[in-house]
Structure 1
Amino acid sequence: MEKKVFIFWDNSNIFISGRTVASEKEGEDASYQLRLQFNNILELASAGRDIECAIAVGSVPPELRHVWNKMEQSGIKVELHERGLDSNKEQAVDQALQVHMLRKAFDYNGTPGIAVMLTGDGHGFLDGVGFHADLERMHKKGWGIEVIAWERTCNSKLKKWASEVGTFIRLEDYYESVTFRDDYNGVIRRSKPLNLDNRIKST
Protein backbone atom coordinates (compact mmCIF):
# COMPACT_ATOMS: atom_id res chain seq x y z
CA MET A 1 0.00 0.00 0.00
CA GLU A 2 1.42 3.36 -1.05
CA LYS A 3 2.14 5.79 1.77
CA LYS A 4 0.21 9.03 1.97
CA VAL A 5 1.89 12.33 1.26
CA PHE A 6 2.32 15.19 3.75
CA ILE A 7 3.42 18.43 2.08
CA PHE A 8 5.19 21.15 4.08
CA TRP A 9 5.70 24.35 2.08
CA ASP A 10 7.99 27.25 2.97
CA ASN A 11 6.52 29.62 0.39
CA SER A 12 8.84 32.59 0.97
CA ASN A 13 11.92 30.47 0.41
CA ILE A 14 10.54 28.94 -2.78
CA PHE A 15 9.45 32.32 -4.15
CA ILE A 16 12.52 34.36 -3.23
CA SER A 17 14.92 31.68 -4.46
CA GLY A 18 12.83 31.36 -7.62
CA ARG A 19 13.41 35.03 -8.36
CA THR A 20 17.16 34.43 -8.30
CA VAL A 21 16.80 31.56 -10.75
CA ALA A 22 14.44 33.58 -12.97
CA SER A 23 16.94 36.42 -13.21
CA GLU A 24 19.64 34.01 -14.36
CA LYS A 25 17.40 32.20 -16.83
CA GLU A 26 15.33 35.02 -18.30
CA GLY A 27 17.00 38.28 -17.34
CA GLU A 28 16.61 40.83 -14.57
CA ASP A 29 13.01 41.77 -15.42
CA ALA A 30 11.93 38.16 -14.87
CA SER A 31 12.91 38.41 -11.22
CA TYR A 32 10.16 40.98 -10.59
CA GLN A 33 7.62 39.36 -12.91
CA LEU A 34 7.98 35.83 -11.58
CA ARG A 35 4.86 34.13 -10.23
CA LEU A 36 4.48 30.60 -8.88
CA GLN A 37 2.04 28.19 -10.50
CA PHE A 38 0.63 26.69 -7.33
CA ASN A 39 -1.43 23.95 -8.96
CA ASN A 40 1.59 22.56 -10.78
CA ILE A 41 3.83 22.79 -7.73
CA LEU A 42 1.25 20.88 -5.70
CA GLU A 43 0.99 18.28 -8.47
CA LEU A 44 4.79 17.98 -8.57
CA ALA A 45 4.85 17.45 -4.80
CA SER A 46 2.09 14.84 -4.74
CA ALA A 47 3.22 13.04 -7.92
CA GLY A 48 -0.12 11.31 -8.28
CA ARG A 49 -0.32 10.11 -4.67
CA ASP A 50 -3.02 10.76 -2.09
CA ILE A 51 -2.38 13.96 -0.11
CA GLU A 52 -3.13 13.59 3.58
CA CYS A 53 -1.99 17.11 4.42
CA ALA A 54 -0.66 20.13 2.53
CA ILE A 55 0.27 23.20 4.53
CA ALA A 56 2.09 26.40 3.62
CA VAL A 57 3.31 28.95 6.13
CA GLY A 58 4.10 32.57 5.33
CA SER A 59 3.64 36.19 6.34
CA VAL A 60 0.79 38.64 5.84
CA PRO A 61 1.66 41.81 3.97
CA PRO A 62 -1.82 42.94 2.83
CA GLU A 63 -0.80 43.26 -0.82
CA LEU A 64 -0.12 39.51 -0.95
CA ARG A 65 -3.53 38.37 0.28
CA HIS A 66 -4.54 37.42 -3.27
CA VAL A 67 -1.50 35.12 -3.44
CA TRP A 68 -2.59 33.23 -0.35
CA ASN A 69 -6.13 33.01 -1.72
CA LYS A 70 -4.81 31.26 -4.81
CA MET A 71 -2.88 28.79 -2.68
CA GLU A 72 -6.00 27.98 -0.68
CA GLN A 73 -7.96 27.48 -3.88
CA SER A 74 -5.33 24.91 -4.88
CA GLY A 75 -6.17 22.84 -1.79
CA ILE A 76 -3.37 24.03 0.46
CA LYS A 77 -3.97 25.01 4.07
CA VAL A 78 -2.32 28.39 4.62
CA GLU A 79 -1.08 29.66 7.98
CA LEU A 80 -0.01 33.28 8.13
CA HIS A 81 2.00 35.23 10.67
CA GLU A 82 2.50 38.95 11.15
CA ARG A 83 5.83 40.48 10.19
CA GLY A 84 7.90 42.22 12.83
CA LEU A 85 6.67 45.76 13.44
CA ASP A 86 10.15 47.31 13.46
CA SER A 87 12.08 44.93 11.22
CA ASN A 88 9.31 44.03 8.71
CA LYS A 89 10.89 40.57 8.65
CA GLU A 90 9.08 37.27 8.94
CA GLN A 91 8.56 36.13 12.51
CA ALA A 92 8.37 32.47 13.58
CA VAL A 93 7.41 31.20 10.10
CA ASP A 94 9.99 28.41 10.06
CA GLN A 95 9.16 27.42 13.61
CA ALA A 96 5.43 27.27 12.84
CA LEU A 97 6.04 24.91 9.92
CA GLN A 98 8.30 22.78 12.10
CA VAL A 99 5.54 22.47 14.68
CA HIS A 100 3.23 21.07 12.00
CA MET A 101 5.92 18.62 10.91
CA LEU A 102 6.49 17.33 14.43
CA ARG A 103 2.78 17.10 15.16
CA LYS A 104 2.25 14.94 12.09
CA ALA A 105 5.22 12.77 13.03
CA PHE A 106 3.65 12.24 16.45
CA ASP A 107 0.06 11.76 15.25
CA TYR A 108 1.08 9.27 12.55
CA ASN A 109 3.77 7.53 14.59
CA GLY A 110 2.38 4.08 13.74
CA THR A 111 1.72 4.82 10.08
CA PRO A 112 4.47 7.12 8.81
CA GLY A 113 3.99 8.66 5.39
CA ILE A 114 6.07 10.61 2.91
CA ALA A 115 7.22 14.05 4.09
CA VAL A 116 7.59 16.36 1.09
CA MET A 117 9.46 19.53 2.06
CA LEU A 118 9.33 22.53 -0.26
CA THR A 119 12.23 24.72 0.79
CA GLY A 120 15.94 25.29 0.32
CA ASP A 121 16.70 26.29 3.86
CA GLY A 122 18.87 23.87 5.82
CA HIS A 123 19.95 26.49 8.35
CA GLY A 124 20.46 25.29 11.89
CA PHE A 125 21.17 21.63 11.16
CA LEU A 126 24.47 21.52 13.04
CA ASP A 127 22.69 22.88 16.11
CA GLY A 128 19.88 20.31 15.88
CA VAL A 129 17.27 22.86 14.83
CA GLY A 130 15.65 23.86 11.54
CA PHE A 131 13.82 21.92 8.84
CA HIS A 132 16.76 19.60 8.20
CA ALA A 133 16.94 18.41 11.78
CA ASP A 134 13.19 17.73 11.94
CA LEU A 135 13.27 15.83 8.65
CA GLU A 136 16.05 13.74 10.22
CA ARG A 137 13.76 12.99 13.14
CA MET A 138 10.93 11.99 10.82
CA HIS A 139 13.23 9.77 8.77
CA LYS A 140 14.34 7.93 11.90
CA LYS A 141 10.65 7.25 12.64
CA GLY A 142 10.20 5.57 9.26
CA TRP A 143 9.04 8.47 7.13
CA GLY A 144 9.98 8.71 3.47
CA ILE A 145 11.73 12.00 2.67
CA GLU A 146 11.46 14.20 -0.41
CA VAL A 147 12.96 17.68 -0.65
CA ILE A 148 11.87 19.94 -3.50
CA ALA A 149 14.01 23.05 -3.89
CA TRP A 150 15.86 25.33 -6.26
CA GLU A 151 19.26 23.67 -6.47
CA ARG A 152 20.83 27.07 -7.18
CA THR A 153 20.10 28.26 -3.63
CA CYS A 154 19.50 25.06 -1.69
CA ASN A 155 21.56 24.33 1.39
CA SER A 156 24.22 21.85 0.23
CA LYS A 157 24.00 19.67 3.36
CA LEU A 158 20.23 19.38 3.04
CA LYS A 159 20.51 18.45 -0.64
CA LYS A 160 23.18 15.82 -0.01
CA TRP A 161 21.28 14.25 2.89
CA ALA A 162 17.94 14.18 1.04
CA SER A 163 19.61 12.56 -1.98
CA GLU A 164 21.13 9.86 0.23
CA VAL A 165 18.08 8.93 2.33
CA GLY A 166 15.25 9.82 -0.03
CA THR A 167 14.70 12.06 -3.02
CA PHE A 168 15.92 15.51 -3.99
CA ILE A 169 13.90 17.24 -6.72
CA ARG A 170 15.44 20.17 -8.59
CA LEU A 171 12.82 22.83 -9.30
CA GLU A 172 15.05 24.01 -12.14
CA ASP A 173 14.04 20.85 -14.03
CA TYR A 174 10.42 22.05 -13.91
CA TYR A 175 11.04 25.79 -14.13
CA GLU A 176 8.73 26.55 -17.05
CA SER A 177 5.92 24.49 -15.51
CA VAL A 178 6.03 25.76 -11.92
CA THR A 179 6.41 29.44 -12.80
CA PHE A 180 4.93 32.05 -15.10
CA ARG A 181 5.59 35.75 -15.65
CA ASP A 182 3.15 38.60 -15.13
CA ASP A 183 3.83 42.35 -15.00
CA TYR A 184 0.31 43.25 -13.74
CA ASN A 185 -0.57 44.43 -17.26
CA GLY A 186 -0.86 40.91 -18.53
CA VAL A 187 0.81 37.53 -18.67
CA ILE A 188 4.22 37.61 -20.36
CA ARG A 189 4.92 33.89 -20.18
CA ARG A 190 2.42 31.20 -19.32
CA SER A 191 3.39 28.03 -17.50
CA LYS A 192 3.80 24.86 -19.53
CA PRO A 193 1.99 21.59 -18.72
CA LEU A 194 3.77 19.57 -16.04
CA ASN A 195 5.50 16.36 -17.13
CA LEU A 196 6.11 13.89 -14.30
CA ASP A 197 7.65 11.09 -16.37
CA ASN A 198 11.05 11.48 -14.67
CA ARG A 199 9.73 12.35 -11.21
CA ILE A 200 11.39 10.01 -8.70
CA LYS A 201 9.38 9.09 -5.59
CA SER A 202 10.53 7.99 -2.15
CA THR A 203 9.15 4.98 -0.31
Structure 2
Amino acid sequence: MATRLSSPVESPSAPPRRRLVVRLIAWSVVLLIPVLFLFSGNDEPSDDARAPRVAVAHAPSVSATPKASVAPKGGKHLPRAQPTRLRIPAIGVDAPFVGLAIGASGQLEPPPADDVNLVGWQANGVSPGEAGTAIIAGHVDTATSPAVFAGLSEVEKGTRFSVNRSDGRTAVFVVDSVETFAKDAFPDDRVYADTPQAQVRLITCAGDYDHSVKDYTDNLVVFAHLV
Protein backbone atom coordinates (compact mmCIF):
# COMPACT_ATOMS: atom_id res chain seq x y z
CA MET A 1 0.00 0.00 0.00
CA ALA A 2 1.63 3.18 -0.89
CA THR A 3 0.82 5.52 1.81
CA ARG A 4 2.89 8.60 2.16
CA LEU A 5 3.70 9.68 5.65
CA SER A 6 5.26 12.96 4.99
CA SER A 7 6.40 14.46 8.17
CA PRO A 8 7.16 11.76 10.68
CA VAL A 9 5.85 11.32 14.12
CA GLU A 10 8.17 11.58 17.08
CA SER A 11 7.80 9.02 19.85
CA PRO A 12 6.29 10.76 22.90
CA SER A 13 8.07 10.24 26.17
CA ALA A 14 5.49 8.64 28.42
CA PRO A 15 1.87 9.81 28.39
CA PRO A 16 -0.48 6.86 27.98
CA ARG A 17 -2.51 8.58 25.37
CA ARG A 18 -1.15 10.49 22.48
CA ARG A 19 -2.76 11.85 19.43
CA LEU A 20 -1.43 9.60 16.74
CA VAL A 21 -0.72 11.68 13.73
CA VAL A 22 0.72 9.36 11.23
CA ARG A 23 1.60 9.86 7.63
CA LEU A 24 2.73 6.73 6.00
CA ILE A 25 5.94 7.18 4.09
CA ALA A 26 7.23 4.96 1.38
CA TRP A 27 9.78 2.36 2.27
CA SER A 28 11.63 -0.04 0.09
CA VAL A 29 8.94 -2.62 0.61
CA VAL A 30 5.39 -1.79 1.47
CA LEU A 31 3.89 1.36 2.91
CA LEU A 32 4.70 4.69 4.19
CA ILE A 33 2.68 4.95 7.47
CA PRO A 34 2.17 7.84 9.35
CA VAL A 35 0.07 5.09 7.18
CA LEU A 36 0.65 2.47 4.44
CA PHE A 37 2.29 -0.31 2.62
CA LEU A 38 2.31 -2.00 -0.75
CA PHE A 39 4.43 -4.00 -3.10
CA SER A 40 4.47 -4.21 -6.83
CA GLY A 41 1.43 -5.88 -8.29
CA ASN A 42 1.19 -9.06 -10.27
CA ASP A 43 0.63 -7.13 -13.47
CA GLU A 44 4.05 -5.50 -13.28
CA PRO A 45 6.62 -6.19 -15.99
CA SER A 46 9.06 -8.91 -14.94
CA ASP A 47 11.91 -6.47 -14.29
CA ASP A 48 9.72 -4.25 -12.16
CA ALA A 49 8.21 -7.15 -10.27
CA ARG A 50 11.55 -8.25 -8.90
CA ALA A 51 11.44 -5.46 -6.35
CA PRO A 52 8.49 -5.14 -3.97
CA ARG A 53 6.49 -1.95 -4.23
CA VAL A 54 6.62 0.33 -1.31
CA ALA A 55 3.35 1.86 -0.31
CA VAL A 56 2.94 3.76 2.87
CA ALA A 57 0.57 6.05 4.66
CA HIS A 58 0.82 9.76 5.15
CA ALA A 59 2.80 10.66 8.28
CA PRO A 60 2.39 13.90 10.20
CA SER A 61 5.21 16.20 11.13
CA VAL A 62 6.80 15.89 14.53
CA SER A 63 5.53 19.34 15.44
CA ALA A 64 1.98 18.28 14.57
CA THR A 65 2.05 15.30 16.89
CA PRO A 66 0.45 16.00 20.26
CA LYS A 67 2.24 14.55 23.25
CA ALA A 68 -1.04 13.94 25.07
CA SER A 69 -4.70 14.69 24.65
CA VAL A 70 -5.71 18.10 25.94
CA ALA A 71 -9.41 17.43 25.44
CA PRO A 72 -11.45 15.96 28.29
CA LYS A 73 -12.55 12.36 27.82
CA GLY A 74 -16.02 12.08 26.36
CA GLY A 75 -18.27 9.17 25.54
CA LYS A 76 -17.44 5.51 25.92
CA HIS A 77 -13.77 4.60 26.18
CA LEU A 78 -11.54 1.92 27.64
CA PRO A 79 -8.26 2.06 29.58
CA ARG A 80 -5.02 1.70 27.69
CA ALA A 81 -4.17 -1.83 26.51
CA GLN A 82 -2.26 -3.32 23.62
CA PRO A 83 -4.35 -4.51 20.66
CA THR A 84 -3.87 -8.19 19.82
CA ARG A 85 -6.18 -8.93 16.88
CA LEU A 86 -8.24 -7.00 14.33
CA ARG A 87 -11.42 -8.57 13.01
CA ILE A 88 -13.48 -7.08 10.16
CA PRO A 89 -15.99 -9.84 9.28
CA ALA A 90 -17.47 -7.88 6.36
CA ILE A 91 -14.22 -8.24 4.38
CA GLY A 92 -12.79 -11.38 5.96
CA VAL A 93 -10.03 -9.70 7.98
CA ASP A 94 -8.75 -11.62 11.02
CA ALA A 95 -5.21 -10.43 11.65
CA PRO A 96 -2.74 -10.08 14.52
CA PHE A 97 -1.14 -6.76 15.44
CA VAL A 98 2.46 -5.68 15.49
CA GLY A 99 3.61 -2.56 17.32
CA LEU A 100 5.27 0.07 15.14
CA ALA A 101 7.99 2.35 16.44
CA ILE A 102 9.41 5.68 15.34
CA GLY A 103 12.66 5.06 13.49
CA ALA A 104 15.86 7.08 13.41
CA SER A 105 14.43 9.09 10.51
CA GLY A 106 11.61 10.28 12.77
CA GLN A 107 9.04 8.39 10.73
CA LEU A 108 6.85 5.48 11.72
CA GLU A 109 8.36 2.19 10.62
CA PRO A 110 6.19 -0.12 8.47
CA PRO A 111 5.02 -3.60 9.45
CA PRO A 112 7.13 -6.51 8.19
CA ALA A 113 6.65 -6.89 4.44
CA ASP A 114 6.83 -10.66 4.37
CA ASP A 115 3.51 -11.23 6.21
CA VAL A 116 0.41 -10.32 4.19
CA ASN A 117 -1.94 -10.94 7.14
CA LEU A 118 -0.62 -8.42 9.64
CA VAL A 119 -1.68 -4.96 10.77
CA GLY A 120 0.36 -2.39 12.63
CA TRP A 121 -0.40 0.26 15.23
CA GLN A 122 1.77 3.07 16.57
CA ALA A 123 2.77 1.59 19.90
CA ASN A 124 3.53 4.95 21.54
CA GLY A 125 0.25 6.43 20.39
CA VAL A 126 -3.35 5.93 21.44
CA SER A 127 -4.40 2.30 21.75
CA PRO A 128 -7.65 1.19 20.05
CA GLY A 129 -10.50 1.75 22.50
CA GLU A 130 -8.64 4.39 24.50
CA ALA A 131 -9.92 7.98 24.35
CA GLY A 132 -8.23 9.72 21.43
CA THR A 133 -7.39 8.77 17.85
CA ALA A 134 -5.75 5.38 17.31
CA ILE A 135 -4.11 4.56 13.97
CA ILE A 136 -4.13 1.09 12.41
CA ALA A 137 -2.30 0.58 9.12
CA GLY A 138 -1.92 -2.37 6.79
CA HIS A 139 -0.63 -3.33 3.37
CA VAL A 140 -3.07 -3.46 0.48
CA ASP A 141 -0.95 -5.84 -1.59
CA THR A 142 2.53 -7.21 -2.16
CA ALA A 143 4.53 -8.13 -5.23
CA THR A 144 2.93 -11.55 -5.24
CA SER A 145 -0.50 -11.34 -3.64
CA PRO A 146 -3.20 -9.19 -2.05
CA ALA A 147 -2.56 -8.24 1.57
CA VAL A 148 -4.62 -7.73 4.72
CA PHE A 149 -6.32 -4.48 3.63
CA ALA A 150 -6.95 -5.48 0.00
CA GLY A 151 -10.70 -5.28 0.60
CA LEU A 152 -10.76 -2.21 2.83
CA SER A 153 -12.39 -0.08 0.12
CA GLU A 154 -15.47 -2.34 0.35
CA VAL A 155 -16.18 -1.31 3.94
CA GLU A 156 -19.23 0.94 4.27
CA LYS A 157 -20.68 3.37 6.79
CA GLY A 158 -22.28 1.40 9.60
CA THR A 159 -19.94 -1.59 9.23
CA ARG A 160 -18.75 -2.94 12.58
CA PHE A 161 -15.33 -4.35 13.37
CA SER A 162 -13.54 -5.29 16.56
CA VAL A 163 -10.14 -5.17 18.20
CA ASN A 164 -9.17 -7.81 20.77
CA ARG A 165 -6.99 -6.36 23.52
CA SER A 166 -4.37 -7.61 25.96
CA ASP A 167 -6.66 -6.86 28.92
CA GLY A 168 -9.16 -9.46 27.68
CA ARG A 169 -11.65 -6.85 26.48
CA THR A 170 -12.92 -6.46 22.94
CA ALA A 171 -13.32 -2.94 21.55
CA VAL A 172 -16.11 -2.74 18.97
CA PHE A 173 -16.13 0.09 16.44
CA VAL A 174 -18.65 1.31 13.89
CA VAL A 175 -17.56 2.96 10.63
CA ASP A 176 -18.53 6.63 10.24
CA SER A 177 -17.11 7.16 6.75
CA VAL A 178 -14.68 5.76 4.19
CA GLU A 179 -12.72 8.36 2.24
CA THR A 180 -9.87 8.56 -0.24
CA PHE A 181 -7.30 11.37 -0.22
CA ALA A 182 -4.50 12.23 -2.61
CA LYS A 183 -1.21 11.86 -0.78
CA ASP A 184 -0.13 15.32 -1.83
CA ALA A 185 -3.32 16.78 -0.29
CA PHE A 186 -3.67 14.61 2.79
CA PRO A 187 -5.77 16.26 5.56
CA ASP A 188 -3.47 15.60 8.54
CA ASP A 189 -5.53 17.62 11.00
CA ARG A 190 -8.72 15.80 10.19
CA VAL A 191 -7.24 12.31 10.16
CA TYR A 192 -4.84 12.55 13.07
CA ALA A 193 -6.38 15.23 15.29
CA ASP A 194 -6.80 14.24 18.92
CA THR A 195 -10.37 13.62 20.04
CA PRO A 196 -12.06 13.28 23.45
CA GLN A 197 -13.88 10.18 22.17
CA ALA A 198 -12.34 6.78 21.41
CA GLN A 199 -11.84 6.75 17.65
CA VAL A 200 -9.85 4.71 15.14
CA ARG A 201 -8.47 5.29 11.66
CA LEU A 202 -7.79 2.34 9.38
CA ILE A 203 -5.36 3.40 6.66
CA THR A 204 -3.99 1.82 3.51
CA CYS A 205 -2.93 2.78 0.01
CA ALA A 206 -5.29 3.46 -2.87
CA GLY A 207 -5.46 5.09 -6.28
CA ASP A 208 -3.09 4.44 -9.16
CA TYR A 209 0.36 2.97 -8.81
CA ASP A 210 3.03 5.50 -9.80
CA HIS A 211 5.96 3.54 -11.25
CA SER A 212 8.28 6.54 -11.11
CA VAL A 213 8.13 6.71 -7.31
CA LYS A 214 7.03 3.10 -6.68
CA ASP A 215 4.09 4.21 -4.60
CA TYR A 216 0.33 4.64 -4.85
CA THR A 217 -1.13 8.08 -5.45
CA ASP A 218 -3.77 8.03 -2.71
CA ASN A 219 -4.60 6.86 0.81
CA LEU A 220 -7.83 5.20 1.85
CA VAL A 221 -8.95 6.14 5.37
CA VAL A 222 -11.73 4.51 7.37
CA PHE A 223 -13.07 6.73 10.17
CA ALA A 224 -14.71 4.85 13.07
CA HIS A 225 -15.70 5.29 16.72
CA LEU A 226 -16.08 2.99 19.72
CA VAL A 227 -19.58 1.72 20.49
Same fold (TM over 0.5): no
TMscore range, shorter length: 0.3 to 0.5
TM-score (norm 1): 0.35
Q: Higher helix proportion, which one?
A: 1
